[in-house]
């Protein structure tokens, strides 16, 4: 089992739709969590941090569920420009320094 | 500020050749990282550094060496390149471990 797992997609949604991604992790001692966005042939860029109390930034909401060991990303009112790959990152845990990226979920938003 | 820069952007090597990838950051970050990204897989940590003069192994360190002689630079070396090392290599930095990482634009390496 991978330490961090994401549904690779692709998710194909129309403009204006709401779409949600989940990312599960196996190390219950993990300490910090992030969502990154990666455009084709570009570097990952931070989208938002993830907290147990939730984190909202405009159309984007991220949530951490420690009991079930997953993080989620909700995108409301999808835009064409949201088309990208979304990577979750899980840091920390037992067994030394760890920073684990998920393989990413591809999103296509269509007109 | 330039942020994180990487050189070169592209490189083609023959099996057995050596090369060094350079990463530089101007944000005064303590932590620096080298990752490789392959299709269908997440970024995998090769080596990292928690400060000037320190290096440590990540998830996939075999076949690579690193050095951090200056705080702003982190070098990744391939002593004898193999086709399995064909990948996109990203460098990143952060203020501390487990904080937000800032990435360079990547180096596309092909080993024939």
- Among A106, A102, A105, A104, which residue's Cα sits nearest to residue A2? A102
Q: What is the pLDDT of residue A73?
A: 97
**pLDDT of residue B2 exceeding 90:** no
What is the percent of chain B with per-residue pLDDT over 90, rounded to a whole number? 91
Helix (H) or strand (E) holding A23: strand A19-25
Rounded to whole angstroms, the Cα distance separating A24 from A71 reads 6
B97 CB-side CA count, 13 A = 15
What mean pLDDT, rounded, does chain B reach?
96
Q: Would you state the pLDDT for residue A49?
A: 94
For A69-92, the three-class secondary structure string (H helix, E strand, C coil) is: CEEEEEECCCCHHHCEEEEEEEEC
CA distances from B97 to A27, A91, B81, B109 (A): 17, 9, 29, 27
Q: If chain A, 111 residues long, is cut into consecutive pieces of 10 residues, what is the mean pLDDT of each piece?
A: 90 97 93 96 96 92 95 98 97 84 96 96
By DSSP bridging, strand A99-101 and strand A84-91 are antiparallel
Is the Cβ–Cβ distance between B4 and B104 less than 8 Å? yes
Mean local confidence (pLDDT), B24-45: 94
Q: Per-residue pLDDT averaged across B12-34, rounded?
A: 97
Q: What percent of chain B lies above the pLDDT cut of 70?
A: 100
Paired tokens of B57 = 């192994």
Residue of B nearest to A4 (CA): B42
- The pLDDT assigned to A102 comes to 95
pLDDT of the residue at B98: 87
A99, A101, A102, A106: which to substitute to probe chain B, counting the most B Cβ within 10 Å? A99
Inspect the interface and report whether the beta carbons of B98 and A49 lie closer than 8 Å.
no
For B81, residues 6+ apart whose C-beta sits below 8 A from its C-beta are B13, B14, B15, B16, B17, B18, B19, B109, B111
C-beta atoms of A97 and B90 within 8 A: no
Which residues between 28 and 57 in chain A have a beta carbon less than 8 angstroms from any beta carbon of chain B?
Answer: 31-32, 34, 42-46, 49
Lowest mean pLDDT among A100-104, B38-42, B65-69: B38-42
Distance from CA of A84 to the nearest CA of B (A): 15
CB pairs under 8 A between A and B: 46
Short-list B85, B70, B90, B81, CA closest to A89: B90
| pLDDT(B1) > 80 | no
């Amino acid at each position: 089992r991978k330490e961090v797992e994401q549904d690779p997609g692709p998710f194909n949604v129309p403009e204006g739709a709401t779409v949600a991604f989940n990312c599960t992790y196996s190390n219950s001692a993990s300490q910090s969590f992030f969502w990154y966005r990666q455009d084709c042939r570009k570097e990952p860029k931070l989208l938002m941090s993830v907290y147990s109390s939730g984190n909202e930034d405009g159309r984007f909401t991220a949530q951490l569920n420690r009991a079930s060991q997953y993080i989620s990303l909700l995108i409301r009112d999808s835009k064409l420009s949201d088309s990208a790959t979304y990577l979750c990152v899980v840091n920390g845990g037992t067994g030394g320094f760890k920073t684990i990226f998920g393989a990413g979920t591809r999103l296509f938003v269509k007109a | 500020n330039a942020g994180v820069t990487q050189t070169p952007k592209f490189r083609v090597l023959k099996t057995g050749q050596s090369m060094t990838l350079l990463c530089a950051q101007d944000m005064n970050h303590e932590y620096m990282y080298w990752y490789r990204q392959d299709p269908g897989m997440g970024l995998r940590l090769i080596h990292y550094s928690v400060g000037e003069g320190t290096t440590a192994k990540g998830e996939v360190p075999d076949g690579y060496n690193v050095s951090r002689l200056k705080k702003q630079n982190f070098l990744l070396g391939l002593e004898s390149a193999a086709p399995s090392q064909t990948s996109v290599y990203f460098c990143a930095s952060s203020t501390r471990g487990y904080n937000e990482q800032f990435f360079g634009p990547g180096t596309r390496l092909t080993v024939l």
